[in-house]
Amino acid sequence: MEKNQKKVYIETLGCQMNKSDSERILGILSHFDYEKSEENEADFFIINTCSIRKLSEDKAYSKLGVWGKMKEKRPEIKIAICGCVAQQEKEGLLKKFPYLDLVFGTHNIYELPELIKELEKPVPDGERIRICAIRDKAVEEKEFNIIRSKGINAWLPIMEGCNNFCTYCVVPHTRGRERSREVETILAEARKIISEGYKEITLLGQNVDSFGKDLKPDNNGIKPNFAKLLAELDKLEGNFRIRFTTSYPTDITDDVVETVKNAKKICECFHIPMQSGNDRVLKAMNRRYTRAQYSEIVNKIRTQIKDVTITSDFIAGFPSETEEEFLDTISAIKELGLDYSNTAAYSPRPNTPAGKMVDKFIPNDIKKRRLAELNDTVKKASLASNTQDIGKVYEVLVEKINENDEKNGNARIAEGRSRNNKVVHFKSETAQIGDFINVEIKEALVWCLKGEAVADISNPSTAICKEACAKKEAASLK
């Protein structure tokens, strides 16, 4: 007898950690005969939320409203909310959205089987089971399938939570304190990812460099840390890359830098949020470093690791930020030669000290202007960084193929990323998604590089080498 296949649609907002959580949720639901579907086909709707900025929270509420109208016509469908907004707002969401059936948080994804069973219990006509399941402590991890997104990259969480309590950030309140996964659990998941054919693994954590601080020493008395984990992952067999995000500046140890420098599979890229270039604002944000200390860390990494890319995050219009202090952020991006930065205007968040600084809030029009100037500075910095790459040869992992690119005379264009996370476009008749191809950079644009594939003489079996040889042979016959 065939099982009754049910369909689930998950909309994911926010960071890579949320994307990874959604993959785990899909895997758990697959044990209950749910399969991933398009929005218009689903029986079960889940919004996985982000509360870093109010805009993300508003997007989640808007989507719930759309599903609520769908439920008027199809009362049998189930609607759930999870993620950081759920962890933050708790049972208040059931009161706010009467069509909502389930609220679960960031700490209890692995409790979902029990919640689904409770939700699907038969009830008398006209009655509904509505559940709010928010936990203050994380539910123990359980082994379930993970239904990963198709592609070349796989997310691999190594830890969750944050102990830093920056005054603008809600993460410690929604994700909790730092919790590291066991080393062997991470290595086992990495091996499985490699066996499934993924070419890139991105290690995730709100602060990956703090990995292991909460773990006990192993049987040999050796305490795990991030550098040792990276070294163990680098030893795994297979042709793949390793990336990691995010790094807190002062937690990047010399051992981590040395490990990245000497590793074969770990990419030369650090994402190190600075948030402001002014020391007073950094202190008001409760960031545990000065501009000079951040600069020292960046320079140390650049000195030791060739062609490294360093990216950052910045906030425009933090409460009480003066015009002169904002200009310190602009000058920091220029002086440090940051390759790229994410930017945002300050958004007050619940339960944060900065969110209570109402008398010091910057007017929206000023925040908007500062953000525009910040974005313009980032744009110029990105172009300057990319221009320095002209003439270099980078190994590119192909992510996309455009068979007939109109902007390039309907040529077949391959797109991928270099080890240092630069987007690269190049023409190729043979490149396939998942190929590693050496590309000489010929042109620099603001957000990407353009180049020409070159033969890898150390590996004559590669597709690009065959392509080059075929062209050479054809030319000799003319």
Instruction: List average pLDDT for each run of 10 residues in the chain, which is 478 residues long.
Output: 77 94 95 92 96 92 97 94 95 96 94 92 85 91 90 96 96 94 96 97 97 92 96 97 97 98 98 98 98 98 97 98 98 97 96 96 98 98 98 98 86 96 96 97 98 70 46 46
Going from the C-alpha of 185 to that of each of 129, 210, 241, the distances in angstroms are 35, 17, 19
- Write down the pLDDT at residue 406: 80
Find out whether the peptide bond into 246 is cis, omega within 30 degrees of 0.
Answer: yes
**Residue 77: which of 108, 118, 46 has the closest Cα?**
46
- Which two structure tokens, joined as six digits, stand for 267? 């990419």
**Residue 55: which of 317, 318, 357, 346 has the closest Cα?**
346
Distance of CA 416 to the CA centre of its chain: 17
- Write down the pLDDT at residue 456: 58
Please tell me whether residue 145 adopts helix, strand or coil conformation: coil
- Write down the pLDDT at residue 462: 46
CA separation for the pair 131, 215 (Å, rounded): 33
Q: In what order do the strands lie in the sheet with 269-271?
A: 269-271, 309-316, 340-345
pTM: 0.91
- Write down the pLDDT at residue 470: 47
- Which two structure tokens, joined as six digits, stand for 146? 């993970």
- Write down the pLDDT at residue 466: 45
**Residue 449: which of 419, 411, 410 has the closest Cα?**
419
Partners of 393 in beta bridges? 440
Burial bucket for residue 27 (CB in 10 Å: 0-12, 13-18, 19+): middle
- Write down the pLDDT at residue 478: 44
